[in-house]
Chains A and B, each alone.
Chain A
Amino acid sequence: MVLDENTIEKIAHLSRLQIGKEDIPHYAQNLSSILDFVGQMDGIDTTAVDPMAHPLSVTQRLRDDQVTEVDQKDKFQAIAPRVESGLYLVPKVIE
């Protein structure tokens, strides 16, 4: 499976990763060989096999809809890159 540079750019965009133009060929090569490697899976017939998402056969535990958390907003926002009036600041989104 050979990934071309266009595909790498698309995947990088979906992953929200900036990849330098000069690095794209290297990633294309690495990712292509990894996909070749995992292509070994193709040789196995799995039509009658259920997918396994989780090692244990259990159902998700639920709890009562009660407030149990304590408000620690100030503590958590103390480590934020930019905060103002309790809001996280990012570059302008709306024109």
Chain B
Amino acid sequence: MHRKTIAELSQALHQGTISSSELTGIFLSRVKQFNPQLNSFITLTEERASTAAQEADRRLKNGKAGPLTGIPIAHKDIFCTDGVTTTCGSRMLDNFIAPYDATCVVKFNQAGAVMLGKTNMDEFAMGSSNETSFYGPVKNPWDPAKVPGGSSGGSAAAVAAYLVPGATGTDTGGSIRQPAALCGCTGLKPTYGRVSRYGMIAFASSLDQGGPITRTAEDAALMLGVMAGFDEKDSTSMDTSVPDYTATLSDSIEGIKIGLPKEYFSEGLDNRIASALDEAIKEYQNLGATVVDISLPNTNLSVPTYYVVAPAECSSNLSRYDGVRFGYRCDNPKDLMDLYKRTRGEGFGAEVKRRIMIGTYVLSAGYYDAYYLKAQRIRRLISDDFANAFKDVDVIMGPTTPTTAFALGDKVDDPITMYLSDIYTIAVNLAGLPAISIPAGFVNWLPAGLQIIGNYFQEARILNIAHRYQQVTDWHRRVPEQYK
């Protein structure tokens, strides 16, 4: 039962083959059994899940149920959940019981989904390995000595280990797509403005976007259908209609033009991943797509640019954590300055402090033009590269990550090596485009991901293209040995 997709489980629930209470019980016991070794959950919400499952069963009986009604899910611990601890993976919010629900959480509650708990993540979403979490690292279900990726490592690991059929994540520089790739899941980052950021703890406001992590594109379509939509409470939310993402999943992709950027297939990419991608591209050609070589000339500037823009925005967003109104407060502050400095010094981990300081530096007088404004100009160049490419192609494909999952502890001492693992995902956030990562093979028994980048608000198209591949391959249905 735990190996069924959301779509399959939804059918079973609607047909009455199983109740949400039973289904929730199955997944909850898997979480309790496997979480000690995976560390993918920070908080389990058993009682709430029980109540929600019973309510879902009532709705299913009364014919008032939708596709997500009764389906167990998990939320990345970056989404505020009313009355439930919301830590953002940080000591700073270890005691923070959110007094309201994020819009995404409200939407899933209204859809009747059953929240099992809050998943582990890199602290304040800053990281690519889930090693910066105050609650300890998450293990990759395919190899416990390896990282699951980050920052949505907990969500990806939970889905990969079949502890939950779907989970929410957030993506600022690749934090949905990269862990999805390293864990063999499907992960979608929507267009900036597609999903409301209200109640989604802010890291970099012009880059952050919430999205689903699932096994399949079909399931991602179902979850996105719930998450997407205009929200008055988010001033950056776009008032664009939400299509039925499931309706066009099986459309023919005959004649679709796939762009392959030459910059994505150069040195730095593990050549075994390159081979797996070659096979995937051949499958797409068999399905009727044509391949076009393109160039995204400013690709190599995307990571440096991001590491000016994102820290700058984070230094501003994280200035609210001051020990005054909520969250961690240091003991016996002697004056206000001591309160601020020690609360923040003790409450934040090293990576967060690094990024706050970089951000403060690049925004400070005398450096603002040389760093921050410069980065914003390069951001436009990077964005223009994509706009130019989309004149000739419908979608852009490439590897999601340059390597498969690396070993725990491998990159913690060298921030820049860690940052470079996001080389293929980061530009997409700078441009604000939608992108999905899907499983496309294995290298030494570790998953490799294929990334499909679409033009603005083309989530339906990239889901369709992903789904067509999943109809002729089965990478997305593999199960790690320990978690069968």
Q: Which residues of A contact B481 (CB under 8 A)?
A: none
Which residues from A are CB-within-8-Å of B327?
81
Interface residues of A in 59-95 (CB under 8 A from B): 60-61, 63, 72, 75-76, 78-82, 88, 90-93
Contacts of B431 in A (CB 8 A): 55
By a CB distance below 8 angstroms, the chain A residues around B364 are 11, 14
Residue of B nearest to A36 (CB): B416
Does B326 sit within 8 A of A, measured CB to CB? yes
Decide if A93 touches B336 in the complex (CB within 8 Å): yes
Stretch in B2-10, B340-348, B392-400 touching the partner: B340-348
**Contact (Cβ within 8 A) A90 B324:** yes
Interface size on A, residues (CB 8 A): 50
Distance in Å from the Cβ of B328 to the closest Cβ of chain A?
8
> Chain A residues near B303 (CB, 8 Å)?
37
Number of A-B contacts (CB under 8 A): 162
Contacting pair A18 B354 (CB below 8 A): no
**B99–A40 CB distance below 8 A:** no
Let me know if B324 and A40 touch, CB within 8 A: no
- Cβ of A38 and Cβ of B335 under 8 Å apart? no
Beyond A17-B344, A41-B304, is A79–B322 a contact (Cβ under 8 Å)? no
Q: B interface, by DSSP: helix, strand, loop or mixed?
A: helix
Distance of A54 Cα from B185 Cα, bound (Å): 29
Interface pair A40/B358, CB less than 8 Å apart: no
- Residue B315 lies at the interface, judged by CB distance under 8 Å to chain A: yes
Contact B361 A11 (CB under 8 A): yes
Structural contact, A37 and B416, CB atoms closer than 8 A: yes
Residues of chain A lying within 8 A (CB to CB) of residue B48: none
Q: Given known contacts A12-B357, A90-B339, is B329 in contact with A37 (CB within 8 Å)?
A: no
B309-350 interface code vs A (CB 8 A; 1 in, 0 out): 000000100010011111101000111111111101110100
Size band of the interface chain B makes with A: 35 or more
Contact yes or no, B322 A16, CB < 8 A: yes
Which one of A18, A37, A53, A55 contacts B192 once the chains associate, using CB atoms below 8 Å? A55
Complex CA distance for A60 and B415, rounded to whole angstroms:
35
Which B292-315 residues have a C-beta within 8 angstroms of A? Answer: 298, 300-301, 303-305, 307-308, 315
A66–B456 alpha-carbon span in the complex (Å): 33
Known A53-B376, A60-B235; contact A34-B206, beta-carbon cutoff 8 A: no
Q: What is the CA–CA distance of A35 and B377 in the complex, to the nearest angstrom?
A: 17
What distance in Å separates the Cβ of A39 from its nearest Cβ neighbour in chain B? 8
The reply on A15 being an interface residue by CB < 8 A is yes
Choose among B97, B238, B378 the residue that contacts A79 (Cβ–Cβ < 8 A): B97
Q: Name the A residues within 8 Å of B326 (CB-CB).
A: 76, 79-81
Roughly how many angstroms separate A5 CA and B373 CA in the complex, as a whole number? 26
Check A6 for interface membership: any CB of B closer than 8 A: no
Task: Judge whether A56 and B345 touch: CB under 8 Å.
Answer: no
**B132 interface residue, CB < 8 Å from A?**
no
- Contact yes or no, A38 B308, CB < 8 A: yes
| Known contacts A17-B345, A60-B235; is-contact A52 B305 (Cβ 8 Å) | no
Contact partner of B345 among A3, A11, A19, A93, CB < 8 A? A19
Tell me the complex Cα distance, A26–B206, Å: 30
- With A15-B360, A91-B336 already in contact, the answer to whether A81 and B96 are too (CB < 8 A) is no
* Complex Cα gap A90–B327 (Å): 14
Instruction: Spot the interface stretch: B152-160, B195-203, B281-289, B379-387.
Output: B379-387
Chain B residues engaging chain A, CB cutoff 8 angstroms = 95-97, 99, 192-193, 206, 232, 235-236, 238, 298, 300-301, 303-305, 307-308, 315, 319, 322-327, 329, 333-342, 344-346, 348, 353-354, 356-358, 360-361, 364, 371, 373-381, 383, 415-416, 419, 430-433, 456
